């Protein structure tokens, strides 16, 4: 089962990480751990981008000895009547022969269209969602549906899933651990950088922090250094950076300014 299989447009995803390497809220980790021993389950992962939904799915697969197959729903959904349902049927039919976990990402491509309006295009979107939910119920394996739209999904879909896990922005203490742990011993921060202050000040997701650290590691590698230090460059515009919108800029800001 791979991206070149016309019967099954999915990508096998893995992780080199293990449970001790990751930083999750203990309630999230406890809920997810219940799925490891279950051969068949239907789980709904809700939360903003970068909060660990995909990573959690790969950890569950790794711990249970099953492959995880990522299906991008935005690529499955079609504007032509009947095509979305046909694509979904092909995916589920092909997956029946695999002992894996189906992870549907970008579920917002469908959920965001759901409405109580009677307009024709909205009815079509609702029909596509209903078809997807029926296929999930029919499927005998494990399915995870990931969505960013918490408000649009939990009221409608709770009854269709065995478990619903909410992923949120990490706490300041969790962010501190993410900042320190994500280099995995290959790089370190100079003692002059106040990581507690950075973790407290910037409310970032784990995904954003990892992206920033990748930039820091790249910069350090280019300088043939293993320690990320502060420089003398000052940045003028930090408004967007404080909101965590620009990981590249924040990476430079962290390294070049005395926070």
- Note whether 110 and 132 are within 8 A (CB): yes
Contacting residues for 218 by C-beta, under 8 A, at least 6 apart = none
d(CA 257, CA 259): 6
More confident residue, 178 or 237: 178
Residue with tokens 């011993």: 185
Predicted confidence (pLDDT) per residue in 27-45, tens digit = 999 999 999 989 899 999 9
Token pair, residue 192, equals 């002059």
d(CA 45, CA 165): 5
pLDDT band at 241 (very low <50, low <70, confident <90, very high): very low
Give the pLDDT mean for 118-122: 51
Region(s) of the chain under CATH 1.10.8.60:
172-256
Contacting residues for 198 by C-beta, under 8 A, at least 6 apart = 179, 254, 259
pLDDT band at 91 (very low <50, low <70, confident <90, very high): confident
Alpha helices (runs of H) in the chain, residue ranges in sequence order: 26-33, 53-64, 73-76, 83-95, 108-111, 120-138, 150-157, 172-181, 195-201, 206-222, 239-242, 247-256
Which of 13-22, 83-92, 192-201 shows the highest mean pLDDT? Answer: 13-22
C-alpha distances out from residue 259 to 170, 198, 245, Å: 20, 7, 18
Where does 11-166 sit in CATH, by number? Answer: 3.40.50.300
| Candidate from 28-42, 76-90, 128-142 with smallest mean pLDDT | 76-90
Contacting residues for 256 by C-beta, under 8 A, at least 6 apart = 230, 231, 232, 233, 234, 235
d(CA 1, CA 70): 11
Arch. (CATH architecture) of 172-256: Orthogonal Bundle (1.10)
| pLDDT at residue 92 greater than cutoff 60 | yes
Region(s) of the chain under CATH 3.40.50.300:
11-166
Token pair, residue 215, equals 């930039």
């Amino acid at each position: 089962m791979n991206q070149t299989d016309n019967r099954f447009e999915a990508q096998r995803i893995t992780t080199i990480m293990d449970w001790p390497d990751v930083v999750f809220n203990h309630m999230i980790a406890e809920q997810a751990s219940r799925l490891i021993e279950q051969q068949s389950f239907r789980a709904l992962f809700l939360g903003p981008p970068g909060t660990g939904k995909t990573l959690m799915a790969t950890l569950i697969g790794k711990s249970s000895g099953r492959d995880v197959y990522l299906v991008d729903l935005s690529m499955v959904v079609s504007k032509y009547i009947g095509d979305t349902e046909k694509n979904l049927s092909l995916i589920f039919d092909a997956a029946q022969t695999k002992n894996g976990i189906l992870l549907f990402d970008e579920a917002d491509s469908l959920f965001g269209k759901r409405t109580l309006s009677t307009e024709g295009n909205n009815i079509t979107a609702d029909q596509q969602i209903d078809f997807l939910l029926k296929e999930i119920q029919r499927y005998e394996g494990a399915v995870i549906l990931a969505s960013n739209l918490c408000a649009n999904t939990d009221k409608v879909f709770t009854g269709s899933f065995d478990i619903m896990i909410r992923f949120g922005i990490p706490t300041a203490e969790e962010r501190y651990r993410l900042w320190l742990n994500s280099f995995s011993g290959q790089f370190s921060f100079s003692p002059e950088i106040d990581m507690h202050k950075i973790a407290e000040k910037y409310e970032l997701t784990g995904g954003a922090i990892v992206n920033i650290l990748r930039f820091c590691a790249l910069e350090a590698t280019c300088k043939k250094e293993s320690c990320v230090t502060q420089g003398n460059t000052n940045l003028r515009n930090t408004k967007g950076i404080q909101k965590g919108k620009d990981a590249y800029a924040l990476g430079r800001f962290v390294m070049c300014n005395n926070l």
